[in-house]
Structure 1
Amino acid sequence: MAKRASFKVNGLTSLSKKLKKNATMSDVKTIVKTNTAELTEGMQNEAQVLLTGHWEGKKFVKPTGTTKRSITMHISNNGLAGHTGPKTEYAPYLIRGTRYMVKRDFFLPPLRKQKQKFKSDLERLMQ
C-alpha cells in the first residue's frame, strides 16, 4: 500500500507558550478547524475537476463521485489536530498513477496551498 502524506507542526510547547501570551487556545482551535475544512473542500473540488471518468476497452465509464464523497475531515487531539483525505482503497493509485494510468493528483496541490495559509494564520495569531 502507498505511504500516506501528512503535514505536522513541530514545537507545540513553544507555540503554546507564545500563544498564551498573545491569544487563547480557542483561537488556535478555530484556525485548525477552519483550515481543515478549507483543505477538505479544496480536495473535493480538485477531485471533481480531475476525476472525469475513464475508458474500459472501447466504453467510457462516467465517474461515480465515490472518491469525492470519501474525502472527509476529522478533528482530534482536543481540537488541535485536523485530518482530511480520501478514504477509498484506490485513492493512492489515482493520486500517484500507475504504469497504465496517468496520475490525477487532487491531494497535494490543495495541501500545498492550504499549508501556506495555515502557517500565515498561525504567524498572524502569534504577533
Structure 2
Amino acid sequence: MARMRLNGMQELTRGLDQRARGANRDVQNIIRKHGASMNRRMAKNAPVDTGNLRRSIQLNLTNNGFTATVRPNANYASYVEYGTRYIYPSPYVRPAFYAEQELVIQAFRNMMR
C-alpha cells in the first residue's frame, strides 16, 4: 500500500487566506473610490434651483464596504431625472452611473491582472 504525505498545508492555507484578505481590501477600496466619484458626478450634474437636490445626494457603504449606494433623498428627485408632462427631464443620475460604470469595470480588470 502506497502512502502519500503532504507537508506545508498549514502554510499554504495561511498564504491563501492572506491573499484573499488583500483582495477583499482592494475590492472595498475600488467600491469606496468609485462610489465617492459617482457621488461627486451626480452632485455636479444635478440642476440647481435651491440646492436642495444637490445637498440630498448621499453615498452609503454597506455590506462591509462591498456595496456603495449613491442616491438623492429629495422627494422630487425622480421628477427631475425623468421629467413630467410639465417639465423636461434633466438627467443627472444615469449619466453619472454610465460614466462611472466603465471606470469600475476597468479597475476590476486591472486588479485581476
TM-score, normalised on structure 1? 0.71
Structure 2 matches for 1:25-36, cutoff 5 A?
Answer: 25-36=24-35
The runs of at least 4 aligned residues of structure 1 exceeding 3 Å deviation read none
Q: Can you list the C-alpha shifts for 1:94-127, whole angstroms capped at 9, x where unaligned?
A: 0000011000001101110000000110111011
Q: Identify which of 77, 90, 98 aligns with 1:104.
A: 90
Q: CA deviation at 1:24?
A: 1.9
Number of residue pairs aligned between Structure 1 and Structure 2? 94
Higher Cα Rg, which structure: 2
Please, which runs of 5 or more residues in structure 1 have no aligned partner? Answer: 1-18, 53-62
Please, which runs of 5 or more residues in structure 2 have no aligned partner? Answer: 1-18
**Bigger relative contact order (CA 8 A; separation at least 6):** 1
Determine which structure has the larger helix proportion and give its number: 2
Q: CA RMSD in A?
A: 1.2
Distance 2:56 2:40 in 1: 12
Q: CA deviation at 1:85?
A: 1.2
